[in-house]
Every structure is written in C-alpha cells, then in structure tokens.
C-alpha cells in the first residue's frame, strides 16, 4: 500500500458559468480532487472562487470542507487573488496543518503555484503528470525535454505546492460526502491584487465535448495531411472530442486549443483513437491516462503501435469511412 499524508490536502478548484446561470465544477477539477484523495488518509478540502460552488459535485468527489472567500469585487481570474485566498485558508484551519496544496496546471494555476511556493518558502511543481507520497514528502513526476524524459522530484521543506496537468494522475472512485462543510473566508487582500483588473471575459463555446471532459477522443495527426473530414465524421458519430498533435496545430489545421501532449493538454478518456499519429513521446505523454488506445496509422513501426491496445495499419482515409459504414 502506498504511503499517504496524515493531514488534509487543499485543492483549488475551477468552475465555469456565472451567477445568473449557475456555476459548474469542471471535469479536470473533479479529476484532481480524486487524485488528491489518493494522497491523504485525512480529508480533501476545496477552495472555490465563486459565491455558489456546485456543492453536490464537490461532495461526490469526496470533499469534506469548502472554503468560499468573499472576493470583494475582485476577479478570480487574477492569480494574486486566488493565491491570497489559498493563504487565508491555511491560516484559519484547525491545529492539523494542510499537507499540500494542489491546483490545475493552466495559465492561472502555474502562476498561482509559483506565488504560493514563494510565500511559503517551499517550492512549486508545475505541469505535474503524477503525484505520490514517500517518506512523508510529496513526490512529483514531470515530463521534460519535449517528453523524452520523465523527472521525479520532491519539495523537501515547507508546504508543497503542485500544479497538475488536466487529466493527469490516477483518479479512483471515492466515497462521496453527503454534505460538505462550508467555511466563509474574509480575506485581507494586499494592494497586489488591485494591480490587474479584468475588463471583460467571454466563455468560448465549442461544439461537442471538450478534450479534458470527453469520454472519447479522436486525435488528428500529421498523417491526415490536413484533410480532417474523416476525423470529424468519426468524432461526430462517436460523440467524441477532436484533438490534435503539435504538428497539426503548427500547420494551422486545428487550433492550438486542440493540442494534446507535452505542450498541450493531457486527456484521460475511456477511448482514444488516433488517426495518422506517429506517436512521438511529446504527444503520448498526454494520453497516458486513456483507458483504451486505438491507432490508425500507415506505418506498422510507428511508436504509437507499441502502446496501442489495437492498431489498424493502412490508409486512414479508407479505414475510417469503412468503420463508419459498419457503425451505420
């Protein structure tokens, strides 16, 4: 049995939505809360940056306590605001100290982690792909050098901070909490939080499921030669999200938001289907959480064949239409 912390782990969670339509806990945050559960024998606590977090979803993810700060008109998109809320949460806790603080490794999360690491004079790990506890310390795993190497390191002193790639890490089923406790936070914000003002924000609405939330992902590789009709048809048939390799995004065939891998997002679908993907390690490090991998590729020696549960060797422009015909 793996070692665990004896004290709670605090997770900074993300919601989408607004006060008018309500807030929804994001799938990457749900995943991260379950990852946190594997690190401690104590409780998992959440810091929610909106006035009405989705308490039912938080409870289903095993959260026993939710910190809800009064932002006093400040935007939760400002990293300093989030960091100072997390600091306030650590200051009002009971005598048992927090073992670690986790957040998602997105643009805001990486900056929040660095601010917290500096504040606690400890350290912050970003773009983390897996976490564990060993000898009482948080152990972080991270892909480096374009995904060709994986490094493992610890934060030997102070409160460890980790920004985890969306969808990364093992997220087992957890015991739900029927009614998480709510702890209001009155934060004494510093002048730093007023240095940046959010003028406006717009939520982007993509068609179909998002990459980090989809149960099925169809990924386009350079082998598509930019002809994505078959990939899109398959994704539509399966109700899948469409992803891409770095080269596909470099060519402008799909937007950068579709990129999976070392410099994109990590995904953990039940089924991942690649079309024309060779399987460079800087891409495959982003699909390590997939339950099943199906590769459609014209090179039987392509690296992705070595990790796929099923490989179909041939022309994807012939294979995918044939598969669609079978699906009806």
259 is in an annotated binding site: yes
Distance between CA atoms of residues 287 and 261, nearest Å: 7
What sign does the CA torsion over 233, 236, 239, 241 have? positive
Contacts of 77 (CB under 8 A, 6+ apart): 108, 198, 201
Specify the DSSP element, H or E, that contains 112. helix 107-119
The dihedrals phi and psi of 142, each to the nearest 5 degrees, come to -150, 135
48 is in an annotated binding site: no
Query: Any known ligand binding at 283?
Result: yes
Is 280 marked as binding a ligand? yes
Give the pair of three-digit tokens for residue 149: 């190497």
Q: What is the Cα–Cα distance from 139 to 7, expressed in whole angstroms?
A: 16
Q: Note whether 164 and 143 are within 8 A (CB).
A: no
Q: Is 282 annotated as a binding residue?
A: yes
* 157 marked among binding-site residues: no
Number of C-beta neighbours around residue 203 at 10 A: 7
**Euclidean distance between CA atoms 209 and 216, whole angstroms:** 9
Residue 226 DSSP SS3: coil
Confirm or deny that 279 is annotated as ligand binding: yes
d(CA 88, CA 69): 9
Does the annotation list 246 as a binding residue?
yes
Task: Kindly list the strands in the beta sheet with 271-275, ordered across the sheet, starting from the edge strand earlier in the chain.
Answer: 241-244, 216-220, 271-275, 292-297, 310-313
141 annotated ligand-binding residue: no
Task: Kindly give the pairing relationship between strand 271-275 and strand 216-220.
Answer: parallel
Separation CA 101–CA 298 (nearest Å): 44
Torsion of CA 141, 144, 149, 153, to 10 degrees: -30
- Whether residue 147 is annotated as binding a ligand: the answer is no
Q: Is 82 annotated as a binding residue?
A: no
Q: Which residues are annotated as a binding site?
A: 245-246, 259-263, 276-283
Q: Which residues are annotated as a binding site for FAD?
A: 245-246, 259-263, 276-283
């Amino acid at each position: 049995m793996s070692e665990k912390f004896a004290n709670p782990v605090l997770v900074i969670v993300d919601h989408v939505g607004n006060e008018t339509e309500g807030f929804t806990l994001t799938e990457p945050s749900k995943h991260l809360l379950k990852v946190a559960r594997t690190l401690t024998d104590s409780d998992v606590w959440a810091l929610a940056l909106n006035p009405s977090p989705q308490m039912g979803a938080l409870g289903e993810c095993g959260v026993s306590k939710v910190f809800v700060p009064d932002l006093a008109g400040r935007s939760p998109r400002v990293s300093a605001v989030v960091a100072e809320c997390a600091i306030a949460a650590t200051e009002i806790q009971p005598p048992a100290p927090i073992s670690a603080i986790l957040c998602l490794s997105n643009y805001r999360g990486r900056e929040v982690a660095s601010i917290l690491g500096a504040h606690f004079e400890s350290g912050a790990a970003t773009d983390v792909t897996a976490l564990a506890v060993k000898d009482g310390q948080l152990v972080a795993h991270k892909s480096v050098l374009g995904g060709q190497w994986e490094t493992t390191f610890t934060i030997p002193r102070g409160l460890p901070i980790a920004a985890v790639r969306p969808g990364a890490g093992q997220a087992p089923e957890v015991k739900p909490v029927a009614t998480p406790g709510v702890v209001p936070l009155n934060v004494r914000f510093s002048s730093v939080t007023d240095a940046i003002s959010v003028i406006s924000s717009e939520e982007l609405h993509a068609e179909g499921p998002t990459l980090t939330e989809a149960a099925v992902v169809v990924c386009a590789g350079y082998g598509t030669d930019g002809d994505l009709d078959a990939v899109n048809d398959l994704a539509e048939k399966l109700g899948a999200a469409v992803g891409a390799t770095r080269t596909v995004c470099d060519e402008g065939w799909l937007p950068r938001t579709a990129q999976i891998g070392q410099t994109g997002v990590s995904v953990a679908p039940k089924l991942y289907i690649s079309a024309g993907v060779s399987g460079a390690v800087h891409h495959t490090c982003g699909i390590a959480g997939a339950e099943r991998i199906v590769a459609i590729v014209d090179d039987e020696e392509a690296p992705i064949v070595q990790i796929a549960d099923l490989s179909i060797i041939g022309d994807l422009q012939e294979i995918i239409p044939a598969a669609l015909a079978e699906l009806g």
